[in-house]
Structure 1
């Protein structure tokens, strides 16, 4: 989470939940447009799809909380993603739905968008291209978020699954160990991906968090 970043914009969202926007989102938009000077329309469409996808992902988390009686303080969107801030802690069982709803929303958008692309293409090829991009982007966001790394949804879901299978301390240890292994392998994997495709993802798993989880589980 990036709760220390000040909000530059605030507006009401669904269920009366305030949605706040951080200034780094503007910086991300400028960067995307600057990297695609020859295709400003494509860059603007990509930026809009990205922001909307992240927002809907966080609204999914918020819905999972609201339907279980867990109040939500705000949704915050910034250049590094977003988060849904709850007004109080949820139980492990409540957390399962709350955490899962983000990727579920992205997968739903991907499925619906992919099915609609051929029909939209018959009307407007340009619009179909943007829709296809949005669908692919949501698939990527869902799969990326399901990696068993903290603080991603996948890391939290993996820990919640372990809580169903073993004692809390053991679940913490296993979640920390799996996340630590993934975090250590992440950097060389990203180097290989960059050299092969030219694509780079500015995300770095929290090695210290996974180490603390593993050590706490051993205590």
Structure 2
């Protein structure tokens, strides 16, 4: 299969990123590693940010492939644990890629699918009646905790990551946003969260868009 100039540039940039971190990704170094002139890089990506977006997408391709391979089971909380483990493993094994993908204020387009996957797991927990807090808040808490653990360990002195910290953080955030069983989620806020998740999945035509929005707002208030 013929490798395009764009693919050569992205692969060259990815190798430089792995070997030398973000600082190694100068346009001159990437062009030289790919065997092209610098103007070719700019014609292909527009500017350095365009190149970084392409490299981040390259990293997300591997990460998302692993996420999809996990699939879904009949226990969404267990799926959340598996997703957490994969996320942390990727971040610690590919720190340079992770910093490019998640460690910057700019949210790259390739990240949106990963965020949607996490939200889908949280929505399934809500649908099962096992979510303590609104879906959006739960997704933010899980993501922020996982990212915080990874960035903390990346910044720590060289050595093996502390598995106790990884597991403790995972179980702490899961306990904060979920219940043990659907039966224990019989309180009104959990019911409101489950009802909103069900309505978002199958809105039906019994309510007008305005009524649906109003009901969603009321359910959010009850959930809080």
**What TM-score do the two structures reach when normalised by structure 1?**
0.27
Q: Select the structure with the greater relative contact order (CA < 8 A; seq sep ≥ 6).
A: 2
**What TM-score do the two structures reach when normalised by structure 2?**
0.26
- Whose strand fraction is larger, Structure 1's or Structure 2's? 1
Larger Rg: 2
- Whose helix fraction is larger, Structure 1's or Structure 2's? 2
